[in-house]
Amino acid sequence: MTQERTLSIIKPDATRRNLIGKIITKFEDGGLKIVAQKKIQLTQKLAEDFYAVHKDRPFYSDLVNFMISGPVVVQVLEGDDAVIRNREIMGATNPAEAADGTIRKEFAESLEANSVHGSDSLDNAKIEIEFFFDKNEIVG
Ligand code: ADP
Ligand code: MG
């Protein structure tokens, strides 16, 4: 097992329903440690840039509008195999397919409003962490 860091976002559907604490508890109970965290309002430009990899997908503009519909919590999670571990704790993208006990199974509203984002690889985790955080904002 390797110590890794990954980027997590608690999405607007979850902040709106006051679920930040319940979601953070899932990460901590799952063995991940929060080493950076801030609640922010994304701008359209930031949301477009963050999800640029999806810009040709039919859901892109809806996704950007959803991500700017309220505040988000961006955080860096650290732990053994943090990238995959976080994805396990989150559950499948579509909540209808997410395993019992996962964040998306318990809290997601829909395929789009699925409560959390998590980096999908270690390379993307590094890029996404740098997108939101300066080095001195991450405190192990
Ligand atoms: P994940 O967040 O699990 O890595 P993707 O990277 O494939 O999933 O998609 C990014 C986000 O875009 C999803 O979390 C979800 O909010 C939204 N999304 C993905 N697929 C669809 C879809 N078919 N329709 C609407 N929204 C979608
Ligand atoms: Mg993804």
CATH number at residue 94: 3.30.70.141
- What is the value of pTM for the model shown? 0.98
Identify whether 136 is part of a domain.
Answer: no
pLDDT digits (tens, 9 = 90+) for 22-51: 999 999 999 999 999 999 999 999 999 999
Q: Is the CB of 93 under 6 A from ligand 1?
A: yes
Identify whether 40 is part of a domain.
Answer: yes
Residue span of the structural domain in which 51 resides: 2-130
User: Cα(140)–Cα(125) distance, rounded to whole angstroms?
Assistant: 16
120: CA distance to ligand 2 center in Å? 6
User: Cα(91)–Cα(103) distance, rounded to whole angstroms?
Assistant: 6
Identify whether 89 is part of a domain.
Answer: yes
Which residues does residue 7 pair with via DSSP β-bridges, in sequence order?
76
Identify whether 30 is part of a domain.
Answer: yes
What is the rounded average pLDDT of the residues 67-83?
A: 98
What is the rounded average pLDDT of the residues 96-120?
A: 98
Q: Which ligand is nearest to the CA of 59?
A: 1
Q: Measure the CA angle with vertex 106, ends 119 and 76; round to 5°.
A: 30
Q: Is the CB of 120 under 6 A from ligand 1?
A: yes
